[in-house]
Structure formats: structure tokens, C-alpha cells
Amino acid sequence: MRFLSVSTGLMWIAVTAVCSLGCRSQDANTMPSLNVFAASSLTDVVSELNRDFEGLHPVDVNHSFAGSQVLRIQIEQGAPADVYVSANATHMDALTSAGIVTNPTPFANTDLVVIVPNSNPAGITSFSELTDAKKIILGTADVPIGGYARQVLERAESHYGGEFVSEVMDRVVSEETNVRIIRAKIEIGEADAAFVYRTDVTPGLDITVIEVPESLNVTANYHVGLLRRPAQQNRTMAWMNYIVSPQAQALLSARGFGSDS
């Protein structure tokens, strides 16, 4: 297994990757490969799933992790993906409507929490105190975590008033394209608070969780789809069948994900 890195702005890397992957698949001394493009919030669990999949199938799984919207753009521009895993339906639907992806299937879900550094300089102990933060980080509006966070704030308006939401947005100092970047910036204390997925909070991180009230929270649904690459059809279908299998779902559950399969 290896990481497949494709830069959004430098698509010549994608061309290089196509050549490299093609050469590997034609080498009789190497196993066939499968390229999984997955949302960054799934980095840990998909890496583990891919290792398990390799143990069940004679295939070398490569993976590329980034924001779902970044991966979508890469795929639209010809990046050599075989499987696309998105943190929302929006980007999956766009690729499906364009005829690039088939078999879109939900397979897992999570919800949102607010995180603060363990040092908690703003002294935030509840969601209602989010306006005590001086610096807040959000995902961009087109990245799933950013869209979900804005949905939470829309719901919060009816509970705390429009002024609460305005004050929160006024304190946003950066908007990121990747939930793992958001988490890292909070962990090193670059901001006072941020929205992330509950499943991004793993043991050993220098962060504290502030719960989003259940009445305000949203469900983030993960979807998997297959690229239209006939030569890879058997392998991509095997990966799809694996991700919804009891074995994979048990691993996802152990990582805190809910089941959509």
C-alpha cells in the first residue's frame, strides 16, 4: 500500500501518476493496483480498511486523502481514481450526474463537535459560550465540514438568536479546505475553537471536546462511489462490497462511526 498524492493546482502530477500506475499494472511481477480517493476525515479508518482489504484480495491499494471537494476536482480533471469516498452527498452527486461515478452508496455517518485547545484560553465550557472565543476556524463553505458547521449555526439562530450567529462568524479567522488541518490548528493553539467531526477526536490529542446540543447537531453521511474504469470493475466492486460488509462496519463502529449500510 502506498499514498497516491495528486496536487489540485499541478495536474501534471496526475498525468505522471497515470503513467506510473499504468506501468505498475503492466508489470507481471507486481500485483494489480486500486486507487482510493477518500475524504481527509477518513484518513485513519480507510488506511486500516485498505490494509484489511489487501489481506483479503491480491491487490495493492493506493490512497489519496484530501477534502472531498478537492478530490472531486482532481477526478473531474482526470486523476486516476478507482474509488471515491466523500464526506457528503453533494460532491458525490455532482460526479454521478456527470457520468463519472456510479453506484453511489452511503456506508457510515458521524456528527459534529466543537473542539478547543486543552489550554482553552477562551474558557469555553459549553456551546453557548462559543462567542467567548476570539479566534474561530471553520471549513470553507464547499468543504463538507464547513457546510455542516454552517447548518449547525443556522439551527442555533432559532435557539440563541441571530446576534449569536453573527458574533460567531465575526470571530472566524480562517477557513480551511481540510478537517485535519482544522484539528491540527486547534491542537497547536492557533485558534480558540473549531467545528470538526466527532470521529476526528482520537486519543492522545491536545484538544478538549465541547458538545453541540443534540437539537442543533447534524448527521454527516459518508458515501462511496465507483469510477467508470471497466478494467477495474471487479476490484472496485470488491472494495464496495467490503466497505459495507460486517467486518468493515465493525471496524468503522470501533472508530466511532455510525452505520448507513
Q: pLDDT of 1-39, one tens digit each?
A: 554 443 333 333 333 333 333 333 344 357 899 999 999
**Cell triple for residue 198?**
466527532
Mean pLDDT for the stretch of residues 63-71: 95
- Residue 151 burial by Cβ neighbours in a 10 Å radius (0-12, 13-18, 19+): middle
The least confident of 31-35, 92-96, 214-218 is: 31-35
Mean pLDDT for the stretch of residues 155-179: 95
Bigger pLDDT: 13 vs 113: 113
The amino acid at residue 78 is G
pLDDT score, position 30: 76
Domains belonging to the chain, first-starting first, are: 2-109+221-259 (3.40.190.10), 110-219 (3.40.190.10)
Mean pLDDT for the stretch of residues 47-51: 96
Spatial separation of the C-alpha atoms in residues 261 and 63, rounded to whole Å: 22
Bigger pLDDT: 84 vs 7: 84
pLDDT band at 261 (very low <50, low <70, confident <90, very high): low
| pTM for the predicted model, two decimal places | 0.85
Q: Of 139, 186, 190, 130, which Cα lies nearest the Cα of 163? A: 130
